[in-house]
Amino acid sequence: MAYNRYQDFKANPVWAMILINFLVFIATLINRGLIISAFGLQPAGFTAHPWTIITSMFVHGGFLHILFNMISFYFLGTYLCRIVGENKFLIVYFGGGILGGIFYILLAFPLSIAVGASGAIFALGGALAVMRPKIQVMVFPIPSPIPLWIAVIGGFIIFSFLSFIAWQAHLGGLVFGLVAGYFFKKRYFF
């Protein structure tokens, strides 16, 4: 009798968004200039292309960019989704991504273009850092586990010093996540 291993797999918003991100990445490989200019978030062009505050979360600039974002997204997203449910997870993800986009519009150079899910991912990390601050995580290349809140805040600080990183989007996402985490913790007694 054959045993079907696929029974354990459950489609959820995390896997759906990972799939969308990779499909958009493949399109970016085919025509990078078109995809980034049409779907990336540019402060100066936002009023003419308001959808980019959402679409920019699904566009990535390179293989390492999407790889690290999707690994972080998978671990943070699946854990948060289990804790608060799919609807609240989606609110944190998209709310953090949108607030990250707003921070980027307000604080970045007007002609720059932001792409990536990092603002939304920082929202997930911020929410978890408030709700489960003592959880230990492994962060490469640190050889031992560290508390999640240190990983999230430390990651934000480190990435803020890199010139090609949209720290403004990270900050907006992190702020949204911290507030959402506080709300969830207070309401549900985590």
Q: Catalytic residue numbers?
A: 118, 170
Question: Is the Cα dihedral 178, 148, 133, 91 positive or negative?
Answer: positive
Look up residue 182 and give its two tokens. 């506080």
> Are 92 and 176 within 8 A, CB to CB?
yes
CA distances from 40 to 24, 53, 160, 166, 171 (A): 12, 8, 20, 12, 18
3-state helix, strand, coil in the chain (%, to 5): 70, 5, 25
Strand partners, 114: 41
- At 153, the amino acid letter reads I
Q: Taking Cα atoms as reference points, which of 144, 146, 151, 132 lies closest to residue 72?
A: 151
Q: How far is CA 144 from the centre of its chain?
A: 24
